[in-house]
Amino acid sequence: MRKRVTFRGRVQGVGFRATARSVARAHPVTGWVRNEPDGTVLLEVQGTEEAVDRYLEGLRGAMGRNIQDMDVILIPDVAGESGFQIAY
């Protein structure tokens, strides 16, 4: 499964992307994270449902004080993706 998540709040300039990548290393997930021009952070994460949910729980645990809101949608898987990257 793959989820696209938009995070709102104080999520830029606080190490959010680096934390997202670091948390991903502890979970069997792939994907990417990037800052958006409107001040949000966009993230796509892929793995089993359990792995994706645990990853997002870990990220919320690490950065929850900065997250005011998040939108989550299911999107199609990306074949052949490896690792979790900070996108620019």
**Tens of pLDDT along 38-70?**
999 999 999 999 999 999 999 999 999 999 999
Q: Tell me how far apart the alpha carbons of residues 65 and 47 are, in angstroms, rounded to a whole number.
A: 25
Across residues 28-34, what is the average pLDDT? 98
Residue type, 40: T
Entry pTM:
0.95
Say what the pLDDT of residue 50 is. Answer: 98
Rounded to an integer, the average pLDDT of 20-35 is 98
- Number of structural domains (the chain) is 1
pLDDT band at 35 (very low <50, low <70, confident <90, very high): very high
Domain span at 18: 2-77
Whether 88 maps to a domain, the answer reads: no
Q: What percent of the chain has pLDDT over 70?
A: 100
Q: Kindly tell me the sign of the dihedral angle through the C-alpha atoms of 16, 51, 73, 45.
A: positive
Q: Output the domain CATH number for residue 28.
A: 3.30.70.100
Q: Active-site residues: which are they?
A: 17, 35
Continuous H helices in the chain: 16-24, 49-63
Q: Is 22 inside a domain boundary? A: yes
The pLDDT of residue 3: 98
**Torsion angle of C-alpha atoms 19, 21, 23, 26, degrees rounded to 10:** -150
For the chain, the average pLDDT equals 98
